[in-house]
Chain A
Amino acid sequence: MSVIGARVPKLDAPERAGGRIRYVHDIVVPGMLHGAIRRSDRVHARILSIDVSAARALPGVRAVITANDIENRPFGHGRDNTPLKGDRVLCSRDEIAAVAADTEAIAREACRLIRVEYEDLAAVFSPEEALAPGAPVLYSHVPDNQPFHYDYAHGDLEAAVAESDEIVSDTYRLHYVTHCCMGTSGIVADFSAAGALTVHSSTQVPHMYRRDLAAIVGLPPEKVRVVQATIGGGFGSKLDIYPFEPICVWLARRSGRPVRLLFDREEEFVGSPTRQPAIFHMRSGARRDGTFTFRDVRIVLDNGGHTSWGATTPFVMMQTFSSLYRCKAVKVRADVVYTNNPYAGSFRGYGNPQATFALEAQVDALAARLGIDPIDLRLRNVQEPGEVTGQGMRFHSIAHKECLETVRERSSWTMKRGRPGEAHLRRGVGVASLLHVGGGAKMYRTDGCGTTLKLDDFGIVHVTSGSSEIGQGSDTVLAQCAAEAMGVRLEHVRVHRVDTDLGPWDVGVHASRTTFIAGNSVLMAAREAKKKLLGAASAQVRRPVERLDVTDSEIVDLETGQAVSTVGKVVRALHFRERGDVIMTSAYYEPPSQAQDEGYKGDVSATYAFGAQVAEVEVDVETGVVRLVRLTAAHDVGRAINRLGIEGQIEGGIAMGAGYALTEELKVSRGVVENPRFRDYHLVTAPEIPEIDVTFVEQGDREGPFGAKGVGEAPLIPVAAAIAAAVEDATGVRFTSLPLTPERVLAGLRERS
C-alpha cells in the first residue's frame, strides 16, 4: 500500500483551516513590546536631523532607536543596506528610526511623531536615467551606478548569426509585482538574561539566517537561535534578511524586553521585496528548417536603492536563454543598475518568468517568419535525454517533447490556433515552455540537507529536516517519503519545525529543492532507521532479519505473511531492557551537481524540470479586456509524490502567473508605490481562475526521491508568455510588456489599426 503518488491532504490543513496554527503574528512572549518602523518620506535625500523627542515622550514608549543608537553594520548581497539609515535615504521604503512600545498603536503613533529634516538629492527612476551621462551617482564607490554585471556565452555567435535565415529582434519590459503573502512580514526577538538571542522568524533559510543575522547585530552566531514560525506564504520573499529583522533585535536589546514587530498590509506593499523588473534587448535567429542558431540578449535590471537577491536573477535568466532549447550560440550580458526605486528580492521563478516571456516571444516571432507552427518549431529544437547544453546542464531525464505534445493534444491546439473570429470577442491560443532547476541548485559550495529521525516508543516517526514547510506542502511530502521508506502508516509520521538549535543543517528553501533534496535526505535517514528497527525486531521475535519487513506499522514475517510485532512494541522493548538502545538516525544528502565555473557553466542541478502550457484567451477588442478561458498544462514532474499537493502547486502557480500577466502591478511613480493596498493592487480573484487542465508527465528521474523532480516554481514560469502568445493569436498584436491591462491592450490594438 504505497502512499507515493496518492492524493494526501496537507498534514497541517486542519490546523490552518481551523485557525489554530500559530503564525509569527500569534506568538506572544511574556513581557513583550511591540515594534514599529519610521520609514522615509523621500526617495533620495540627505538626512539633516532626526528629532525623536516627541516620540520618546509619548506614554507607553519604551525605546526609540536611530542609526546613532545602534551599531549600524552594512549587510546584503551588495553590502549597501543598513538596518537604519543615518545620513541618507535612497528609496521610499528606507528605515530611519524605530520604536518599541506597550502596544502596536502607540509604537506607530510614536513613529509618526518623529520629525525628520531632509535635503532632497537628485534622484533617478529608471535604469536609462541612471545610465545617462551626468546622471546622479547613488554610491560614490560605484560611479557608473552599475554594481553588478554578468557575462555569459557559448558557441560562435558571429558564425551562428551568419548562418541564420531569419533574425528577429525586440525589447521586452517587465514590471514590478510583489508576493502578496497572506501573512505579512514579522519577527519576535527575545534575549535571555545571559544575552542569548532567540528569534521567532519566518525566514525560509533559517541556518544561513542565523549566521547572517548574528553578523548584522554583532552577536556571536552561537548565541543566536532561530525558531521558524509557521510561515504565511513565502514564494521567495523570505530568502533574504531585510532591515526590519535586525531593527527588531536592536529594539529588544535597547528596551531589555522581548519585541514583536509586524508589518501592516500597506507596509508589506511598501517595505517588502518585489519581483525583479527587467528590460531585455534581444535578438535571435533560426535556419529555414527551424533550427535555432543564436540568441544575443542584453538584460538591464533596475536594482533600486539597495541590493537584495533580485540583482542575482541573471543566474537563472541565462539558463533559460542558453538551455530551454538546443541553441548553438548564446550570449547574455546583464547590467544591474542602481536607481531610487524599490528593490527586488527573490520571487518564485527567480527571474525565469521574465526571461521566458522574452524568449518565447522571439520563438513565436521566428515561427511566424518561418511559417512553422509554434509548437512544431519548439519540437524541432527540444533536447533529448542525455544531452548536455552549452551551459553544461546535463539532462538525464527530459520530458519536454512529451509535454509539448500533450498540451497540443489536450488544448485542441490544431483546431483553435489561428481562428480568432470576427466578433468583438476574439479567441486565441498560445504556447510557452519552461526549464527550471528540479534537483536543487548548487549556488553555494554545498546544496546539502540534513535529517534527523527519531522513532518513539509508540511507533511515531519524528522527522526533523533542515529544510522547511513554507506553505508549499513539503511536510506532507517528507512524511510520505518517511512512511514509504519505513513501512509505517502516514499518520504515524510527524515532521517538526526548524529550530537551529535542534535541527540539522540545510541551505534553505529555494530553487524548488525541498522535495528533491530534503526528500532524498529523509529517505536516507528512514532507510537507516528501518534497518535498525528490523535488527531489533529480529532479536526480539527470534527470526532472521531477512524474513522480516515493516508494513502498515507492523513487523511482518515475510514467509508466513503474519504480523509478529508492531513498530511501537519493538521500540518499547528496545528501551525497557538492560543495555537498551534508541532508534535515532541522521543523514545528510548532497546532490550530484556542480557549482558553476566563473563563466556560469556547470551542471548546477541534479535534474531539471520542464513543462509546456497552452493558454486560451478571449479578448474584447472594444474594451481591451482579456479573459483567460483555459490553461492546459503538462509538467515533467519526474514522479508525483503527493498528487493533490502538486495539483495545488500547479494551480496556484497558474493563478499567480495569470496575475502577473493580466492584473498585478505595483505602480511605482517617481520611486513611490502608488497602490499599496489590495483595493488597488489587483490579484486575480476566483472568477478569473480559468479552467485548468493539468497532466503530469511521469517518466521518473534516476536521482529524485521515488523519481520525483522539484516543481515548486515551474508552473508559474510560462504562464505570462503563453497568455501573451494567446493574445497575439486573438488580435495579431504581440505585447512586449505586462500586465495586459485593458488600457494597455486597447492602446496596443488602436496603435496597430
Chain B
Amino acid sequence: MIHASTTAITRPRSLDEALAALEKSPGAVLLAGGTDLMVAWNAGERHLPERVVDLWSVPELATIGVAGDALHVGALATHSRIVGSPEVRAHAPALAEASRTVGAAQIQNRGTIGGNIANASPAGDTLPVLLAMDATIVVASRARGERPVPADAFWTAYRRTALAPEELIVRVEIARDRPQVLFRKVGTRRAQAIAKVSMALSLRRSAGGAVEDARIAWGSVAPTPVRARRAEDALRGKPLDAASIGAACAALPQDISPIDDIRSTREYRLHVAMAILRRALSGWVG
C-alpha cells in the first residue's frame, strides 16, 4: 500500500515522555504490541495515521505486581507475561486463562492487556474477565494525572472507550478479595480463533448459599463487552437452584444482542450463551 502522507512515530522511553508526547499531539494512535493495528494497517482496514506514539519501550507500563489490596497489571504486560505471572495466577487466574486463549503464542508474546482494552473489540478475550472481576482501568494524562475508570464504564459503544484523546491506559487494578471467575470461550478451534461467544462469571454466595452478588460478563454477543444485568438480578438473593438458574437463563436474551457475522450467527450465539451459562451455574461449586 502506498500512501502519499507519512507517519510520524514517537518512541517515548518513560511514562512522562509518553504523556508529554500525547499532550503535544492528542489523538495520536497509541501502539503497543501491534497485534491489532499492524493487521488492520496491512489489510488496509485502517489508514495509517499521521502520528503514532509507540509505547513499547515505556518500562513503567510493563510491571505486574501486588500493591496493597490489589493486583496491578501494567498496560504493556503481554499476554505471555500474564500467563506466566505468579501474581496473576494467584489473584486472578481467570485473567491468565483468558490471555492464554488470545491468538497463538506469537500473538501472546506481542499483544498486551492495554491493547486488548483499548482496541475495544467486543471479542477481546480478556475483557469479559475484567468486567466479571470489577476491575478498575487506570488511565492518565499529563494535565490531570491518573483517573480510575471502572471496567463497567470503559467500553461505551462499538469500539469506543472512555479514554480521552490525551489519555493512555496505565494499568488494570483488580481487588484481591474478589471471588474467583470462571472463564469460557467458544470458538471454531482452540488456538488462533476469535470467540464466537465468551463468558466470564463470578458469584459471591452467603453462608446460607444465597447468591449475594453475581457478575456475568460476555464477549462477542453485543457491540461491546457486556454484563448480563437482568440475568444477574435473577440470581441475586436467591439460592442457586433450578428455578433461579432457569430465570437467569431466561433473562439472558434481553441482556445481549448477538448478530450474524463471519464467525457465527445470532441464533447460535444466543443458544450457546444460554447453554454455557446454565452449565456454569449448574456446575457451580464454592
Contact = CB atoms under 8 A, between A and B. Distances in A.
Interface of A: 105-106, 108-109, 266, 424, 622-625, 663, 667, 674-675, 677-680, 682, 684-688, 741-743, 746-747, 750
Given A685-B104, A742-B268, A622 B276 contact: yes
A622 B197 CA distance: 13
Contact of B268 (A680, A688, A743): A743
Contacts of A424: 279
Interface in B225-283: 262-265, 267-268, 271-272, 275-276, 278-279
Contacts of A622: 272, 275-276, 278-279
A741 B188 contact: yes
A688 B190 contact: yes
Given A106-B2, A667-B262, A625 B186 contact: yes
B263 A680 contact: yes
A546 to B, nearest CB: 62
B9 to A, nearest CB: 19
23 contacts: A105-B2, A106-B2, A109-B1, A622-B275, A623-B186, A623-B272, A623-B276, A625-B186, A663-B188, A678-B192, A679-B39, A679-B192, A680-B262, A682-B189, A682-B192, A685-B190, A688-B190, A742-B186, A742-B188, A743-B264, A746-B271, A746-B272, A747-B268
Contacts of B278: 622
Interface string B175-193: 0000000000010111111
Given A675-B262, A680-B263, A742-B188, 12 more contacts: A106-B2, A266-B43, A625-B186, A679-B194, A682-B188, A682-B192, A685-B189, A687-B189, A687-B190, A688-B189, A742-B264, A742-B268
B191 A674 contact: no
Contacts of B2: 105-106, 109
Interface in B152-204: 186, 188-194, 196
The 9 closest A-B pairs by CB, nearest first: A622-B275, A687-B190, A685-B191, A109-B2, A743-B268, A682-B188, A623-B272, A623-B186, A663-B188
A674 B261 CA distance: 11
Contacts of B264: 742-743
Secondary structure class of chain B's binding surface, majority of residues: loop
Contacts of A105: 1-2
Given A109-B2, A742-B186, A687 B191 contact: yes
Nearest to A682: B188
Nearest to B191: A685
Contacts of A743: 264-265, 268
Give the interface centre of A624, A667, A679, A680 by most chain B CB atoms within 10 Å: A679
B268 A746 contact: yes
A109 to B, nearest CB: 4
A686 B191 contact: yes
A623 B275 contact: yes
A105 B196 CA distance: 35
Contact of B189 (A106, A663, A674): A663
A674 B262 contact: yes
Given A105-B1, A109-B2, A742 B193 contact: no
Contacts of B267: 747
A739 to B, nearest CB: 9
Contacts of B189: 663, 682, 684-685, 687-688
Nearest to B271: A746
Given A685-B189, A742-B196, A750 B263 contact: no
A741 B272 CA distance: 13
A685 B1 CA distance: 30
A750 B262 CA distance: 22
A109 B3 CA distance: 9
A46 to B, nearest CB: 28
B199 to A, nearest CB: 11
B218 to A, nearest CB: 15
Interface string B11-32: 0000000000000000000000
Contacts of B265: 743
Nearest to B192: A685
Given A106-B2, A750-B271, A682 B193 contact: yes
Nearest to A266: B43
Interface string B192-228: 1110100000000000000000000000000000000
Nearest to B274: A622
A667 to B, nearest CB: 7
Contacts of A680: 262-263
B256 to A, nearest CB: 16
A213 B196 CA distance: 46
Contacts of A663: 188-189
B223 to A, nearest CB: 20
Nearest to A667: B262
Contacts of B193: 682
Nearest to B263: A680
A266 B189 CA distance: 21
Nearest to A424: B279
A742 B264 CA distance: 9
A687 B39 CA distance: 24
Contacts of A677: 43
Give the interface centre of B189, B193, B194 by most chain A CB atoms within 10 Å: B189
A679 to B, nearest CB: 7
Contacts of B104: 685
A267 B265 CA distance: 27
A664 B265 CA distance: 17
A105 B39 CA distance: 17
A255 B189 CA distance: 47
A105 B4 CA distance: 13
Interface string B23-60: 00000000000000001000100000000000000000
B76 to A, nearest CB: 24
B268 to A, nearest CB: 5
A686 B104 CA distance: 10
A664 to B, nearest CB: 10
Contacts of A747: 267-268
A266 B39 CA distance: 13
Nearest to A665: B188
B48 to A, nearest CB: 13
